[in-house]
Structure 1
Amino acid sequence: MAAGANGRTAHEAWVISGWAATSPYGLGADAFRAGVRAEQYAVRELPEQLRGGSPNGSGGWVPDFDIRAVLGRKGTRSMDRVTALAVSTAGMLLESAGPGLAEDRPEAVGLVLGSGHGSVKSIMDFTKDSMTAAQPHHVDPAVVPNAVMNRAAGLSAIWHTIKGPNVTVSGGALTGLLALNYASRLLEQGRAEAVLVGAAEEYSAQRSWLEHHSRADGTRQAAGPLGEGGVMLLLEPAERAAAYGRRAHAEVLASRFIAFSEPEGARRSLARAVTEVLKSADANPEQIRLVVPSDCGGPLGGYEDAALAEVLDGNRSRTVRLRSLIGDASAASASFQIAAALAHGGSAPAGDGLALITSVDPDGNTGCSLLRLAATAP
């Protein structure tokens, strides 16, 4: 069949054929699925090693996540938390995907990882050391890699022998949706045959203070509990997934991103993005059975809800509000929203179970992705 302008043939579909999560519910997709379905509140008092002068006493932190216990002692002496979250989540996904994904042709598998800043703690600690030590160069050189934003993506690929395209995406609350869109483009252009795509974010007092001050303008809900964790999805053509015996959990239909200049413009921008994504997928609002908004709170959260009410107009879809359960995962938020859609998948008839994931970022961007969920739950 002839390929279109974007290199994608008419019969090709990109599917999510595997996923893993490291979340405040614990390690693995099963723990996340159980917690989300039960609407379990996972924000709790911070342990002493994470508190460190944080403006909040509670957060959605990953329980019992000891880097050396999870990944072993080799290569983890100076590993930062966000890198460890990414490496371990990628490992869980590769294990569940079955043998051969990254071993047979490692150059055919790519990795796209969303990140806010990388490890905010490492960046700020390194800067502090350079200013307070006897000499500016009296710093720990082993920490230098942790202060680079693409550290987590690069080390995840090295750790798991993934030799295809390696990309770090940063886009605020929309990061997970942007990463998914980037991964789809890699497949469309033939740059990879399969892509691990997701996002990771760590909890630290440093990140907590940055978030606290960034919300002072009132565009988002006052600084509250933050979350952390990582999500990894396996995106590949449906035919490839079937050939390797992997089940398609969802098909990625389309994504749209539209900017706004003033907070009040968020409603119109998101409404337009949702309208366009439905048109692109040749779908209508009545087919949407699940909506997972960013639920960012404050005025922007209100604009997001108003846009959805306007476009869906009477649709009786189920709405899952994840932020109130696990905290604000910042750059990993949208990836967790996708995971929540997958966790709730399977409740709609085949071919009619559409899930809409939306996000609004205070820096002036809105976005959404549309998925067709599998007919049966995993």
Structure 2
Amino acid sequence: MTTPVHHTATGVRGARATTVISDWSVLSPYGIGAGPFTEGVAARRPVVPRLNRDVWQAPPGDACLVPGFDVVALLGSRGTRTMDRLTGLTVATLGTLLEPDGSRRRLDEPEHVGLVLGTGSGSVQSTMDFTRDALTGARPFYVDPALFPNTVMNRAAGQSAIWYGLKGPNATLAGGPLTGLQALRYATRLREHGYSRTVLCGAVEEFSEQRAWLAWHTRGEERRSTPLAEACAMFLLEDAGTAVGAGRTPRADILAVRFGAGPRGPRAALDTCVRGALEAAGIHPREVAFAAPSGRLTPPPGTCPMGFGGPAGGDDADTVETAVLGDVLAGADTEFIGVRELFGDASAASAGVQLAAVLAAAAHRPRPGAAAVVTSVDDDGLVACLVLRLR
């Protein structure tokens, strides 16, 4: 007999219980693991951008890298000889989540643990380096075949599954700044459809000379002032019963994930998206305790929630979110969390880092039962909104 399936904003209900985030970890410009990240976000401490010009031949400007990140130092020499930076960031972040004290944490059977990873387009550096070698070598095929896997978009997810013995569904998505929320929705639907009992989900972005030059040539003068950043955020998704049975404390329920776009510009599209996500989640705007936009926070001419964000004019992708959230959440006791102000543009990892920042803020200033909102807007006007219920 087929189990009835009911569609909602997050995906599917009926096949599985509501998905919760039971644990998370981050590699960020604050350091390795959730601890340094939580401390930095809680203190709203900006990272000072630095870039060693003896190592990186990048365009003018500094960047916010994971301090002291070295693939071999973190993961050992075995199996890392040809591992690129993007894959190393992903494998290392999963290590801080799955083996926080050096011993493997209790999860479901490997065949029931899936992995969904969001990325820009894989490693830009690996792809361009390999292509350059094919064009500049004596023969097009005079390339190192061991480096070819790094040019494939799902290299990081595949290598991570092999590294930790994960045999469930494995998927990679690419979608710009929205990627983290796309991966979260995909992972939630995957789990609630019954394809995987437990899903590790996240988003990653590396810093490289190639990425820096691409950003330099495609961003305007004003946006060039925002330093590039690298990061990887990973989340453990399961149902509350499984989490409690394994000794983990659920951090938040995933209530709704919505996406949108519209001919009237990102502001109208995001307004519809946020209101629709809140309605689908059954959340009143006054219940929202934390809001994390992907753009910079813009102080309004008057008052605003917690003094961080509020109405602003224009449809600039960097400022439209605080305008919309200021309107939708007017009168709510909402704390706005601006990750971009703290360490710059994490690109494909942005939405994942925003979600981690919400969980970090909630751990430091608990608001059990309240809601949280994460939004994202890209340069093409695509928008997204995640609604959580904090535990």
Task: Give me the TM-score of the superposition, normalised by structure 2.
Answer: 0.89
Q: Which residue of 1 aligns with 2:302?
A: none
Is 1:270 the counterpart of 2:270? The answer is: yes
Matches within 5 A, 1:234-273: 234-261=236-263, 265-273=265-273
Q: Which residue of 2 aligns with 1:350?
A: 368
Compute the displacement of 1:37 (Å). Answer: 0.9
Matches within 5 A, 1:102-251: 102=107, 105-216=109-220, 221-222=223-224, 224-251=226-253
Query: 15, 26, 29: which one pairs with 2:31?
Result: 26
Amino acid at match of 1:365: L
Compute the displacement of 1:50 (Å). Answer: 4.9
d(CA) in 2 for partners of 1:10, 1:70: 39
* Equivalent residues of 2:98, 2:105 under 8 A apart: no
d(CA) in 2 for partners of 1:224, 1:100: 38
Q: Which residue of 2 aligns with 1:281?
A: 281
Closer, same or farther in 2 for the Cα pair 1:295/1:50, shift >3 Å?
A: farther
* Equivalent residues of 1:43, 1:225 under 8 A apart: no
Question: Any unmatched runs of 5+ in structure 2?
Answer: 298-314
Amino acid at match of 1:39: R
Compute the displacement of 1:281 (Å). Answer: 1.0
Closer, same or farther in 2 for the Cα pair 1:50/1:12, shift >3 Å?
A: farther
d(CA) in 2 for partners of 1:322, 1:72: 31
Tell me the SS of whatever aligns to 1:51: coil
Tell me the SS of whatever aligns to 2:21: strand
Q: Which residue of 1 aligns with 2:383?
A: 366
Q: Which residue of 2 aligns with 1:334?
A: 351
Query: 340, 344, 351: which one pairs with 1:323?
Result: 340
Query: 98, 121, 130: which one pairs with 1:94?
Result: 98
* Equivalent residues of 1:356, 1:371 under 8 A apart: yes
Compute the displacement of 1:95 (Å). Answer: 1.7
1:148-187 CA distances to partner (integer Å, 9 max, x unpaired)?
1110000000000000000001111000011101110011
* Equivalent residues of 2:200, 2:236 under 8 A apart: yes
Amino acid at match of 1:33: T
1:204-223 CA distances to partner (integer Å, 9 max, x unpaired)?
1100111222224x8x8346
Task: Give me the TM-score of the superposition, normalised by structure 1.
Answer: 0.92
Compute the displacement of 1:272 (Å). Answer: 0.5
d(CA) in 2 for partners of 1:16, 1:4: 22
Q: Which residue of 1 aligns with 2:89?
A: 85
Aligned residues: CA RMSD = 2.0
Compute the displacement of 1:252 (Å). Answer: 0.9
Amino acid at match of 1:86: T
d(CA) in 1 for partners of 2:76, 2:165: 17
Tell me the SS of whatever aligns to 1:251: strand
Closer, same or farther in 2 for the Cα pair 1:140/1:296, shift >3 Å?
A: farther
Mean Cα deviation higher: 336-345 or 123-132: 123-132
Residue identity over aligned pairs, in percent, reads 47
Amino acid at match of 1:340: A
Amino acid at match of 2:80: T
* Equivalent residues of 1:225, 1:328 under 8 A apart: yes
d(CA) in 2 for partners of 1:251, 1:338: 12
Closer, same or farther in 2 for the Cα pair 1:50/1:37, shift >3 Å?
A: farther
Mean Cα deviation higher: 70-79 or 314-323: 314-323
d(CA) in 2 for partners of 1:267, 1:364: 9
Compute the displacement of 1:100 (Å). Answer: 5.7
1:88-129 CA distances to partner (integer Å, 9 max, x unpaired)?
111111124974645x51010000001001111111111111
d(CA) in 2 for partners of 1:70, 1:17: 24
d(CA) in 2 for partners of 1:190, 1:153: 20
Compute the displacement of 1:314 (Å). Answer: 2.8
Tell me the SS of whatever aligns to 2:265: helix
Closer, same or farther in 2 for the Cα pair 1:122/1:157, shift >3 Å?
A: same
Tell me the SS of whatever aligns to 2:77: coil
What is the number of residues matched between the two proteins? 366
d(CA) in 1 for partners of 2:105, 2:46: 37
Q: Which residue of 2 aligns with 1:291?
A: 291
d(CA) in 2 for partners of 1:293, 1:12: 28
